[in-house]
Amino acid sequence: MKNRIKTILIIPAILLVASSLTMAQELAANLPADVSADNPVQNWSSYGGSPGGGQYSALNQINRQNVSKLEQAWVYHSGDVSDGADGTAKTPLEVNPILANDKLYICTPFNRIVALDPGNGTELWNHDPGLDRKNTYSKGAYCRGVAYWSESNSNKAGETCTKRVLSGTGDGRLIAVDANTGKLCSDFGNEGQIDLNSYDYHGEGTISQTSPPVIYQDVVIVGSTIYDSKWANAPDGIVRAFDVRSGVELWNWNPIPEHLRDTVGAANAWAPISIDTKRGWVFLPTGSPSQDTYGVQRSDPIPYGNAVVVLDALSGEEIWSYQTLHHDLWDYDLPSMPTLVEISHDGEKVEAVLQATKTGFLFVLDRLTGKPLFPVEEVTVAQSDVDGEKSSPTQPVPQFPPPFTPQSIKPEDAWGLTFWDKKQCRKQLSALKNEGLYTPPSIKGSVLYPSVSGGSNWGGLAFDPESGLVIINSTNIVTSQKLVPREGFESSADAKKKFGKSISMMYGTPYISIREYLASSFGIPCNPPPWGNLTAINTVTGKIEWQIPFGRKPIAFGLLHTPKGWGSPNQGGPMITKGGLVFIGASIDKKIRAYDLHTGEQVWSEKLPAPGTATPMTYLHEKNNKQYIIIAAGGYPTFGTDLSDAIVAFTLRE
């Protein structure tokens, strides 16, 4: 009832403020020099469009001139949806479908693998791995995608499992099924599956799989998802490679130095991995070592944490690595796949790696060496006052491109609908340690801005090979991070009774960690809007071409929305097509939108059954010669949105 009263009170205030707001848009008309595509694709056969990512399609049947004629073609419902009310894990639907073998392949949050007819969305088959749906494992019920492999030996053509779909599961299995029937490939591992937790990960707890495996030739490679801030000696973030036919392990690589493996873990690649198919290199985005917000037990350098690491896909030998953050105390994992592109740099075409971060930086690295193509400086940062903590004295800060999300806030910057709630926010910010980006966690409590949700997150970026533009969506919400002596708290339930916040127990350390979104009593974030942005970055000049507020938040029981200029938190990623369009769901207002790539002007939108907190894909269906835009519209439990099990397809009306 209290929440309802607050909502009713807030509506007039919002409408009053909305009338005086204008969207903060700076649009540039000039385009950068042409560059060649790294791996242009038409049909989306890998997560992110191609093994190297990019979230780009060379299809242009749907373009700026006709996008207004786009309409819903079909909807598929998997049946795998839960709000957690019955104890079943909640179900964000984050899958990026792929098209291969004349079929669309998806995975559901409960790790069922499903094949669909790409022309009408009819289910052709499904494989259920029998996941315990009331066990959330490491991270809950997630599955972002699957991988496809086809036998190169023509003598075996037509045999069972000469075409395979591979997928990970929440309980840490790697599964291979026949791409035509969905039946387990009995020659792979133990009757079609490998229990990854049967391997030694050198720590407490288990690993799970949330992102798709990647495949190079006949090698399938997997990272892992590890529960954040639970165990000091978490499982190590070991990357493993298996023979795609037999399931025999071929190599493994551990990011944790050998002398720390009995006390420290994680630094895992939970986000999607990318492949340079020309060189046979695998690109890993690694995260923070455990514990995420307490580093006393890992004061020795861990150079492979929070790094882009490149390995030989056939042997596991290191090629190069580049660390984007030293001694992570904020859970600023690298959240998305390293994107392999070709850009124009200093008048020459250069093969590059683009890595977006939660902090709002875009690192642009030489693909052959890992050296930054734009200057990166080691900048002095605030130091920890926690006993025994040796925070890094400096952090790497790209000088170009500029940050695509705000990175600092002062108490006088606090925002509110009225003087009263603005004063509330100013008071919250004034009570915290606040020394800009990389303010370490403290017992007093510290500002964490951007939050652990980003900046950029797992949705990553899209790259246009013709213009050299990068499109990134970001969330801009201020939070706090506090360390509390753990004495007297036996479990997270004990801590939540007192604090009622997001609690991480950090077993094996003297503290528990508390994170909180800073908001007024109206539920409005304490930082000024926009709370979500869509940004275009020019990789030729290193400058921002345009940036617009992105997304809207439903209010008043969904009858109204916040003003356009406010933006909203978002999850998922963008897609670019040769038709000069950017497609993106991600926002929590149940909309999929299309924008003009070169101006940021919105040119189309359509309502979805639930927020499309995923990344769209596109393909041309050969049987009817129609281009389709596909998005998973399942909602996002963390944002408290409606949930769904829908895969929605759009095409041009006749």
Q: Which residues, in sequence order, are CB contacts of 520 under 8 Å at separation 6+? A: 416, 417, 421, 422, 424, 425, 526
Peptide bond into 140 cis (omega under 30): no
Beta strand segments in 235-299, E: 239-243, 249-253, 274-276, 281-285
**What CA–CA distance (Å, rounded) separates 308 from 317?**
14
Q: How many CA atoms lie within 13 A of 243 on its CB side?
A: 9
**What CA–CA distance (Å, rounded) separates 407 from 110?**
36
Cα–Cα nearest to 454, from 586, 635, 553: 586
Cα–Cα nearest to 626, from 56, 66, 145, 123: 66
Instruction: List, as one string, the DSSP characters of 199-224.
Output: S--SSSS--B--SPPEEETTEEEE--
**What CA–CA distance (Å, rounded) separates 230 from 510?**
13
**What CA–CA distance (Å, rounded) separates 232 from 537?**
38
What secondary structure letter does DSSP report for 13?
H
Task: List helix spans (H) across 160-227.
Answer: none
Residue 161 · residue 205 · CB < 8 Å: no
Residue type for position 421: D
Could you tell me the two tokens for 209?
Answer: 């799989």
**What CA–CA distance (Å, rounded) separates 473 from 573?**
7
Active site residues per annotation:
331
Cα–Cα nearest to 186, from 241, 242, 246, 127: 246
- Tell me the CA distances in angstroms from 243 to 156, 222, 238, 642, one per residue in order: 17, 12, 17, 41
Residue 268 · residue 202 · CB < 8 Å: no
**What CA–CA distance (Å, rounded) separates 89 from 82?**
7
Q: How many CA atoms lie within 13 A of 422 on its CB side?
A: 10
Specify the pairing of strand 219-222 against strand 163-168.
unpaired
What are φ and ψ of residue 245, in 5° steps? -90, -50
Neighbours of 284 (CB within 10 A): 26
**What CA–CA distance (Å, rounded) separates 261 from 526?**
40
Three-state secondary structure of 122-164:
CEEEEECCCCCCCCCCCCCCCCCCCEEEECCCHHHCCCCCCEE
3-state helix, strand, coil in the chain (%, to 5): 10, 35, 55
Instruction: List, as one string, the DSSP characters of 522-578.
Output: TS-BSSPSPSEEEEEEETTT--EEEEEE----EETTTTEE--GGG---B-S-EEEET
- Tell me the CA distances in angstroms from 250 to 152, 222, 241, 314, 453, one per residue in order: 19, 12, 5, 8, 34
Sheet holding 163-168, edge to edge: 147-150, 163-168, 173-178, 193-195
Tokens 């540039």 found at: 28
**What CA–CA distance (Å, rounded) separates 408 from 334?**
20
Tokens 């969905």 found at: 182
